[in-house]
A and B are shown apart, each in its own frame.
Chain A
Amino acid sequence: DIQMTQSPSSLSASVGDRVTITCRASQNINFYLNWHQQKPGKAPNLLIYAASSLQSGVPSRFSGSGSGTDFTLTISSLQPEDFATYYCQQSYSAPLTFGGGTKVEIK
Chain B
Amino acid sequence: QVQLVESGGGVVQPGRSLRLSCAASGFTLRTYAMHWVRQAPGRGLEWVADISFDGSNKKYADSVKGRFTISRDNSKNTLYLQTNSLRGEDTAVYYCVRESIVVATAATYFDYWGQGTLVTVSS
Chain A residues packing against B (C-beta within 8 Å): 31-32, 34, 36, 38, 42-46, 49-50, 53, 55, 87, 89, 91, 94-101
Asked if B11 is an interface residue, CB under 8 A from chain A, the answer is no
Interface of A is mostly: loop
Binding site for A on B (CB under 8 A): 35, 44-47, 50, 59, 61-62, 95, 102, 105, 107-111, 113-116
Instruction: Please name the residue on chain B nearest to A35 by beta carbon.
Output: B109
Partner of A98, one of B45, B108, B116: B45
Do A96 and B107 touch (CB < 8 A)?
Answer: no
Which A residues are in CB contact (< 8 Å) with B107?
31-32, 49-50, 91
A95 in contact with B109 (CB, 8 Å): no
Contact B44 A100 (CB under 8 A): yes
Rounded to whole Å, the gap between the CB of B14 and the closest CB of chain A is 24
